[in-house]
Amino acid sequence: MVIVGGGPAGSLLLHILHNAGIDAIVLERQTRDYVLGRIRAGVLEWGTVEVLRANGLGRNMDAEGHVHDTINIAWRGSELLTVDTNLQMGRQMMGYGQTRIQKDLYDASDAVGSEIVFEADDVAIHDIETEAPWVTYCHNGVNERIDCDYVVGCDGFHGISRQTIPKSIRTEYLKEYPFGWLGILAETPPVPYLLYANHHRGFALCSSRNPMLARFYVQCELTDSVDDWSDDRFYEELTARLPADQVALISPAPSIEKSIAPLRSYVAEPLRHGRLFLAGDAAHIVPPTGAKGLNLAVADVHYLSQALMAVYAGNTSGINRYSDVALRRVWSAVRFSFWMTNLLHRFPGQTAFEQRTQEQELRYISSSPAAQQSLAEQYTGLPFETLGAD
Ligand code: APR
Ligand code: PHB
């Protein structure tokens, strides 16, 4: 089997299949250091934690991760809404950065000898509608060809796999939001819980990577560049959007990374065409507000690996359900992330009326255990479905 893309989706799938004795190879366009250098989100649903543990990837996460059992939302500059997910749903979240997960995955691949080809150029997928697909690529100037049973596209939003599915078969759904997130990493003690903010100046978020590494975000203009944002300006804006007692928890320190990301929701359906399957960002993107991107990639891989293991054991029913089952979870996360994004951001041209209705929704959640339970249920992650049999 060929897996295109060695991000979290591709390298986790490789690891699970390799453990199951299924022959697979990952073709990754970038260098290992480049992939390991990318700063991404860091909140894991408990289902994700369990998938990682079940596949022998829990040791560092359990030692270094930070278990969260609350989601906190500051609003109107003075109110604080705390949703205790353990109380509401009996579930928690794990704070553990994607960068660390990626390192654990590459280290696991080294340890077991599974194969990842870095700097694989010009990857192309052929004859996907036949029983004998093949993949070509160029490595160290040499053209290579692999004949395989299946191809899995885990090559992210800008990858080539999705484009292999004819346009007449693919349906794409896209929503772009009129703002971005400016994020920084700073070596300073983080706020000890997840803290989101709705403020008339815009959204803000305080998260963490470890006890001495904080991750902060503020909503910014899509046209902004990081050069427009000195550290001083960043902290001024972040602290202006939070209540004073929360600001007291932040000791500003120089940023060691600073980047701007646009927010969008995107889904491509179906996740299967012939012998090609899509998983992770190759098929869907969510805005980071609900912390779902990595969790969805892991859920896709969980479903797909189960289905593929069944295929090699002689049962093809699960693989025929993969696209439908995975897409149900994708749409649930797409809807939830869209809702959280609408709840917490300041939209261009937002009227005082709209600001008040947003605040009223936050007031309602503050006072309603039912609303808190719904938020907690979705944030901590709905249970996985079973792929079932025909
Ligand atoms: N050939 C080979 N590899 C490719 C190609 C290509 N043509 N195009 C892209 N890639 C690689 C990228 O270099 C990247 O390492 O595919 C990988 C895709 O990784 P991600 O973008 O991290 O996507 P995924 O593994 O699905 O993980 C989803 O990442 O973007 C975040 O929020 C998202 O947390 C989520 C997670
Ligand atoms: C992060 O830690 O980077 C993070 C946390 C929660 C989010 C998004 C990003 O919703």
Mean pLDDT per block of 10 residues along the chain (390 residues) reads 98 98 98 94 95 97 96 96 97 95 98 97 98 98 98 98 96 98 97 96 95 96 98 98 98 97 98 98 98 98 97 93 98 98 97 93 98 98 84
- Scored b (16 or more CB within 10 A) or e, 194-218 reads bbbbbbeebbbbbbbbbeebbbbbb
**Contact criterion met (CB below 8 Å) for 357 and 288:** no
Residue ranges of the domains in the chain?
2-66+95-175+263-344
From the CA of 337, which ligand is nearest? 2
**What does DSSP say about strands 25-27 and 115-117: parallel, antiparallel, or unpaired?**
parallel
| Cβ-contact 132, 22 below 8 angstroms | no
pLDDT at 39: 85
What values do phi and psi take at 102, rounded to 5?
Answer: -60, -40
CA distance 358 to 344: 8
Domain 2-66+95-175+263-344 fold is FAD/NAD(P)-binding domain (3.50.50)
Query: Using a 6 Å cutoff on CB, does residue 288 contact ligand 2?
Result: yes
pLDDT, position 390: 53
Task: Kindly give the residue spans of alpha helices, DSSP state H, lying in 214-348.
Answer: 231-240, 244-247, 293-312, 317-344
291 CA distance to ligand 2 centroid (A)? 5
Q: Calculate the CA 364 to chain-centre distance.
A: 28
Determine phi and psi for 131, rounding to 5 degrees: -80, -5
Residue 196 annotated among the catalytic residues of the structure = yes
* pLDDT given at position 42: 87
Q: State the residue for tokens 């993107």.
A: 285
User: 219 - beta bridge partners?
Assistant: 181
Pairing of strands 2-4, 151-153: parallel
| Per-residue model confidence (pLDDT) at position 184 | 97
pTM above 0.95, yes or no: yes
From the alpha carbon of 42, which atom of ligand 2 is closest? 2
Residue 167 has a pLDDT of 95
Which residue puts its alpha carbon closest to atom 32 of ligand 1? 293
Which of 66, 68, 302, 345 is catalytic? The answer is 68
Q: Which of 150, 196, 235, 303 is catalytic?
A: 196
User: Which atom of ligand 2 is the closest one to the Cα of 43?
Assistant: 5
Q: Are 91 and 49 in contact (CB under 8 A)?
A: no
CB 295 within 8 A of CB 336: no
Selection from 296, 301, 307 nearest residue 329 by Cα: 296
Asked if 68 is an active-site residue, the reply is: yes
